[in-house]
Structure 1
Amino acid sequence: MSTQNQTFGFTSFAETLGGRLAMVGFSLAVITEVLTGQGIVGQIAALLSF
């Protein structure tokens, strides 16, 4: 293990950021499903069937 600052790869910052973005995405998916009454797949199908 090196003592240099890592720029790429599995850094602590990258893992924290990825986890937070996943939590935001999941929360938005749940909120959207509650508001529309359709799941994510149903919403995508509705968007694609024009």
Structure 2
Amino acid sequence: MSDNARFGFVNFAETWNGRLAMMGFVIGLGTELLTGQGILSQIGLG
């Protein structure tokens, strides 16, 4: 495997996956705090 791999279980991909997951969590929490509704109720499931 080359050192420039960007896909699969490589450090580059795992780092960005973690960063995007943290951003999604913070955005979801912020939206919930601003609207007063949970995420599931916002999309009509709750």
TM-score w.r.t. the length of structure 1 is 0.77
Aligned length: 44
Q: Which runs of 5+ in 2 are unaligned?
A: none
Backbone CA RMSD of aligned residues = 1.7
Deviations 1:11-40 (A, max 9, x none): 101000000000000000000000000000
**Alpha carbons of 1:7 and 1:34: their partners in 2 closer, same or farther (altered >3 Å)?**
closer
Q: Which runs of 5+ in 1 are unaligned?
A: none
Pair 1:9-2:30 in alignment? no
**Does the residue aligned with 2:7 lie in a helix, a strand or coil?**
coil
Which stretches of structure 1, 4 residues or more, deviate above 6 A after TM superposition? none
Q: What percentage of residue pairs aligned between the two structures are identical?
A: 55
TM-score w.r.t. the length of structure 2 is 0.83
